[in-house]
Structure 1
Amino acid sequence: MQTLVICIDRDNDLGDKANVLAPLIGKEANIEAAVKLATADPEDSDTNTIFGGVKILDELLAKGVDAEIITLAGDRNIGIISDQKIANQLDILLKKFPAESAIFVSDGAEDETLLPIVQSRIKIDSVRRIVVMQSANLESTYYIIKHAFNDPKISQTFFVPLGLAALIYAFFLLIDYSQGAIIGILAAVGLYMLYRGFSDTVNLYWEKLKDSFYSGRMTFFTYATAALLILVATFLGLMDVWSLYTSQGIWYYGIIPLITSFIHRTIWVYVLAILFADAGKIIDCRQRSEPTDKYLIPAFFIMSLGFLLWGASSYLLSVNPVVSTTEASKFGGIQVFIYSIVFAIILALAGIRVSNKPLDKIKRSKR
């Protein structure tokens, strides 16, 4: 045999609705089954699939092609069970009809998920989708949406922001403060998007935090303290920015001075938080008699970066005509900036010196 016309009923509507057992072989058997299914459920699209397969069969026979039509049915439980049934039916029929190629006929995207299974057993020359003209792409769109909503990754990404927005809006309407609803929704959705963007990093640190808690390590306390310090610093920085914004507005101060004010207020608390987290690692390493250089070295560079950002933000705020207009403050800002650069260089050199100690030990041991 040259060609098989393969029709697919993945959810076994033929068996459930028309009491027809699959597989169906031949034109007469397929037409009879299609009529029974159309009588039982005139809206079922599998009827059109079978009649579409019969039409393709007639066209092939008219061209002199040795062809036959078969219909495979799966199971109501769409998935592994239905796909295995279809695969088994196809294996049995291919032993009876060892065709060279096949034409795959379906009524939409759901049945076409079986294409890899059929292709692994026989070469497919063409794929024909039979869809009622008045509802073109309707089943495919429905299947794609249904499949997407059943996927936990997609449903969480789609429904969680909408759910948060609806709850926040309802809460602010309840307290009769509709203006705060926009702020709350933007803040919640923004935090959620940041979490989704940094989910891998957040999950990594969360796993480390749980591991340190169950193993009784110092890093659990220092990580928790660092997280609390970061929250406090962010809150204090946002309070400063909000006070400047509400006094004159963002167009009066500009975006750069507001960002600079936030950095100036929060940088040392952020540095302290990182040092706390680093200190926990150092203590745990000492308890296990492990080297601590790899955790001690970053502390110098973190403090060096802190001095640079603090000095730069102090200088920018001092020269800003809106925040400060006195020459004394400008002169003081320059001094702070210069001193901070000097301290940053000293700390960076100290970090480099500590990082080179292991190399010195290796060179001495080689000698």
Structure 2
Amino acid sequence: MTTLVVCIDRGSPAAAACPVVGRDAVESLITQTGVVDPEDSRVNCLLEGLAVADELEAEGSSPVLAVVGGGSDSVGSDREIASQIDDLVAEHDPDSAVVVVDSADDERLVPIIESRVRVDAVDRVVVRQARDIESTYYLLKQFLADEELRKTVLVPVGIIMLAFPLLLVVTSLTIAVGAIAAAIGVFLIYKGLGIDTYLSRLPGQTREALYSGQVSLVTYVVATGLSLVGIFAGVLGVSAVDDISPFLLANRFAFASVPWLTGAALAASLGRLLDELIQQEGVRSAYVNLPFGAVAVGLVVRGFSAYFLEVGGVFEPFNVRPTDLGVVQVQGFTLDAGTRLALFILAGILISLVGVRVATYVSHTDIEDELVE
């Protein structure tokens, strides 16, 4: 069995004498190449070819060691190598071939050889000192070949490199670094939470909702409007007070915005519930329980924010005025902050329990199963 051991030597001055055939001729070429440039990786490629030929000979094969090459990295050089392979195949009629290369560029020539003789193996020689560099090269090559990774990494890095010097021209270094860091943070959150995927699906979902007549489309718009109103109300509530701690400012914002945000959550959940009732014969208990949960959470959050604001001196204690209903008379009294918070928490718990009970009734499940879920 004759095996052609081919070492590819492209781009070196010695490549003009190719093909070089036979062990003695290859050893002479190794000496010449090593004397001219001892650091040339082609020396290692040729030595690997000798080692492969010895290994095949020890296994009982009849190896034919040859070096093929061209003078430059061009189409003409590749055609020269193809012609040399044709001559070697016509002269020695090998049953198979083993290709020895020392770079990724040379490895691109393997299909040319494979089209003329069966290639059993490709031996890529990596110099030990350059192994990390070679591995990094292959990783970068794979990275640049992936279009999605290029868009995700290279485009943001390019934008940052363009924006940073422009920011330095118009502002200080601190503001420029802070703006770049904030932009990177927003981008990471944007990709990490999958917002890009959601936004890409949003037009199709909106179109489907319009065509199918889903009630939730309208309620989502209402919820968005109520959310904006809640944020605006929170900002107005914060601007109405001065000289308080950031913690109390946050609670003032929550106190003013929670009713509107709760209404937004209630509108969205009711729309989703109506869609479930219209499109399906039954409805899952989670959708029934969601409106009650939104109201319960809103009550608890508002109770806690009111408690902190009253203890912090922003609000006055809550006073109940005297009321005369004829048969029933209520004397005026003052609720302290703790009692008021307890009432809000109790109301939230009661509403959530009512939601669980309604959900079990609608979905025809046991309340124990609903509480476990």
1:144-180 Cα deviation digits (max 9, x unpaired): 2243133223223322443454466456545536655
Provide the residue aligned with 1:275 in structure 2.
269
Residues 20 and 33 in structure 1, CA contact (< 8 A), matched pair in contact too: no
Classify the secondary structure of the residue corresponding to 2:344.
Answer: helix
Q: Does 1:352 align with 2:357?
A: no
Amino acid at match of 1:304: F
Provide the residue aligned with 2:293 in structure 1.
305
Classify the secondary structure of the residue corresponding to 1:304.
Answer: helix
Q: What is the TM-score of this pair, normalised by structure 2? A: 0.57
The count of corresponding residues between Structure 1 and Structure 2 is 323
- The structural deviation recorded for 1:272 is 4.2
- The structural deviation recorded for 1:344 is 2.0
Classify the secondary structure of the residue corresponding to 2:336.
Answer: helix
Pairwise mapping of residues 232-271 of structure 1 onto structure 2 (< 5 A)?
232=228, 264=258, 267-268=261-262, 271=265
Provide the residue aligned with 2:351 in structure 1.
343
Distance in 1 (CA, whole Å) between partners of 2:174 and 2:23 is 68
Distance in 2 (CA, whole Å) between partners of 1:21 and 1:351 is 84
Of the structure 1 ranges 273-282 and 310-319, higher mean CA displacement relative to structure 2 is found in 273-282
Pairwise mapping of residues 9-48 of structure 1 onto structure 2 (< 5 A)?
13=10, 27=23, 47-48=42-43
Distance in 1 (CA, whole Å) between partners of 2:31 and 2:345 is 87
- The structural deviation recorded for 1:307 is 2.5
Classify the secondary structure of the residue corresponding to 1:338.
Answer: helix
Distance in 1 (CA, whole Å) between partners of 2:186 and 2:174 is 19
Name structure 2 gaps, 5 residues minimum. 76-81, 318-334, 366-373
1:308-353 Cα deviation digits (max 9, x unpaired): 3223323433444896466723322221221122122212322232
Pairwise mapping of residues 48-127 of structure 1 onto structure 2 (< 5 A)?
48=43, 50-57=45-52, 60=55, 66=61, 67-69=63-65, 96-98=93-95, 105-108=100-103
Amino acid at match of 2:221: T
Q: Does 1:225 align with 2:221?
A: yes
Q: Match for 1:291 among 277, 280, 290?
A: 280
Distance in 1 (CA, whole Å) between partners of 2:237 and 2:21 is 75
Provide the residue aligned with 2:148 in structure 1.
153
Q: Match for 1:316 among 290, 298, 304?
A: 304
Amino acid at match of 1:303: P
The 1:132–1:206 alpha-carbon spacing in structure 2 relative to 1, beyond 3 Å, is closer
Amino acid at match of 2:46: F
Q: Does 1:334 align with 2:330?
A: no
The 1:150–1:270 alpha-carbon spacing in structure 2 relative to 1, beyond 3 Å, is farther
Of the structure 1 ranges 229-238 and 154-163, higher mean CA displacement relative to structure 2 is found in 229-238
Amino acid at match of 1:354: V
Q: Match for 1:209 among 188, 197, 203?
A: 203
Distance in 1 (CA, whole Å) between partners of 2:259 and 2:17 is 76
Amino acid at match of 2:302: S
The 1:72–1:262 alpha-carbon spacing in structure 2 relative to 1, beyond 3 Å, is farther
Residues 5 and 105 in structure 1, CA contact (< 8 A), matched pair in contact too: yes
Amino acid at match of 1:271: A
Larger Rg: 2
Distance in 2 (CA, whole Å) between partners of 1:20 and 1:273 is 83
The 1:56–1:263 alpha-carbon spacing in structure 2 relative to 1, beyond 3 Å, is farther
Amino acid at match of 1:334: A
Distance in 2 (CA, whole Å) between partners of 1:137 and 1:173 is 37
Provide the residue aligned with 1:189 in structure 2.
184
Name structure 1 gaps, 5 residues minimum. 79-84, 358-367
